[in-house]
Amino acid sequence: MSNHNHDAHAHHGDHDHHEDDTPHGSLYDYVVGFVLSVILTAIPFWLVMGKVIDDKTVLSLILLGIGAVQIVVHMVYFLHMSPKSQGGWNLMALIFTLVLVVITMAGSMWVMYHLHSNMMPMPVNMNSMP
């Protein structure tokens, strides 16, 4: 009977280890993520403060692209998101969230555009209103 208790205790001790096989970051991963984050912050700062690009549309697109890359860097190096983490549920939740955000933003832009184009023009002189 003491053998059974010993085996149960030994098996119980196995639960102290992480069995969910989620990737945990090492110091190297955190340093790489930090360096990439600093670089991806310094480049837009230099582009804007140095007035490197005159065209505001191009500058905005570049800043949005660098921001998207920085989001991915943070998710990979600090949040440890990968297709393997939590059996793929983290990635599925992220995709679902992105779909909802895109639908919400596109719908909002569509409504605002149509509201703007269908509004009655306002008179230039407010004194002429009845």
Q: Are residues 91 and 42 in the same domain?
A: no
- Is residue 46 situated within a structural domain? yes
Mean pLDDT along residues 104-122: 87
**pLDDT value at position 17?**
45
Least Cα distance to 78 among 121, 115, 23 occurs for 23
Token reading at 78: 């600090």
The pLDDT of residue 15 is 45
Residue 7 domain flag: no
CB 113 within 8 A of CB 56: no
pTM for this predicted structure: 0.60
Asked whether residue 94 is assigned to any structural domain, the reply reads yes
Same domain, 28 and 54: yes
Closest alpha carbon to 28 in 85, 83, 77: 77
Structural domain total, the chain: 2
Decide which of 1 and 73 is more confident. 73
Question: What single-letter amino acid sits at 130?
Answer: P
- 43 and 64 both lie in a single domain: yes
pLDDT tens digits for 8-62? 444 544 444 444 555 577 899 999 999 999 999 999 999 999 999 999 999 999 9
Residue-number span of the structural domain to which 98 is assigned: 87-118
- The model's pLDDT over 48-100, given as tens digits with 9 standing for 90+, comes to 999 999 999 999 999 999 999 999 999 889 888 877 777 878 888 889 999 99
Residues 74 and 29 in one domain: yes
